[in-house]
Amino acid sequence: MQKLRFLSATALGLCLLCLSPSLCSAWHDETHVAIAKKAGYYKWFNACGADMAKLKAGQREAHNHYVNNPPDRVVTPEMIMAQVEKYNQVDPGGHLYGAIIASLRDYIAEKKRGKYGEYHLAFCAHYVADLSQPLHNTLYNSFNRKYHSRIDGIINDKVLDNLHRIKIYPIIIDSEKDLANEIARIANLAKELGYKIGGENRLLTREEAYTQISHSASLFKAILEYTEKVKSYTSKGRREPNFQRPIFAFAFPVQSKGK
């Protein structure tokens, strides 16, 4: 009887794990790296670190990677800003959009204090890449569970040899408001595509995948350019563009490099 209860509990646990979106990665490692590299991030090799962090931080990190949007939801800048305070918190609905802004705030704050800060920016790079994965913007339904991993890896085997297929287009960010607007734009495009392929019961095509990661690479390039503006403002003693104080609800230890 005791053995039967154990087996039943184990089966239930495995069933719950299969239904959890938090255990899904997004684009596979090489795809994350390719996006950061194409954007011009000199620490591109750190871009898949946020998925590694999920192994130890569990759901507190995993819930930074997606948003469960129903089909009729329109992602707005106001919705995105409301997610910022949830960064690194357990929140099964997900708060990917707020995580992008919160991790960037943490990076800016660390750099102002003379700290290394790059790991926060690497987290931001990862979240920006997750943003364009269509199934990270939709409900974790039967289609999502069936196709998620295959879509994550749809271009992974060749992407580093095909960086030319990632097309950068101009995005200008001068404020947190600008960033929230761009996140909302890309999130809505990704969500619509996610429900489109779900309705057609098919995988993402390779061409669609390259279009999606081009959105992420273009946005992260704009974020990198924005951080350079912040450094310039700070070095001249001027007030930097409109970014808020950092969110440290759950921070990984960060020290000056070399310590």
Residue 6 is predicted with a pLDDT of 38
Residue 232 is predicted with a pLDDT of 75
Token code pair at residue 64: 């930074």
Q: With beta carbons less than 8 A apart as the criterion, state whether 206 and 155 touch.
A: yes
Gyration radius of the chain over CA positions: 19
**Residue 26 belongs to some domain of the structure:** no
**Residue 14 belongs to some domain of the structure:** no
Q: What residues contact residue 19 under an 8 Å CB cut-off, 6+ apart?
A: 140, 145
**Residue 75 belongs to some domain of the structure:** yes
Domain with 205, as residue range(s), is 33-235
Number of domains in the chain: 1
User: Whole-angstrom Cα distance, residue 131 to residue 220?
Assistant: 11
At residue 107, what is the residue type? Y
Look up the CATH number of the domain holding residue 142.
1.10.575
**Residue 255 belongs to some domain of the structure:** no
pTM value?
0.84
**Residue 230 belongs to some domain of the structure:** yes
Q: What is the pLDDT along the chain (259 residues), one digit of tens a residue?
A: 444 443 444 343 334 334 455 556 689 999 999 999 999 999 999 999 999 999 999 999 999 999 999 999 999 999 999 999 999 999 999 999 999 999 999 999 999 999 999 999 999 999 999 999 999 999 999 999 999 999 999 999 999 999 999 999 999 999 999 999 999 999 999 999 999 999 999 999 999 999 999 999 999 999 999 999 998 766 655 555 555 544 433 333 333 333 3
**Residue 25 belongs to some domain of the structure:** no
**Residue 243 belongs to some domain of the structure:** no
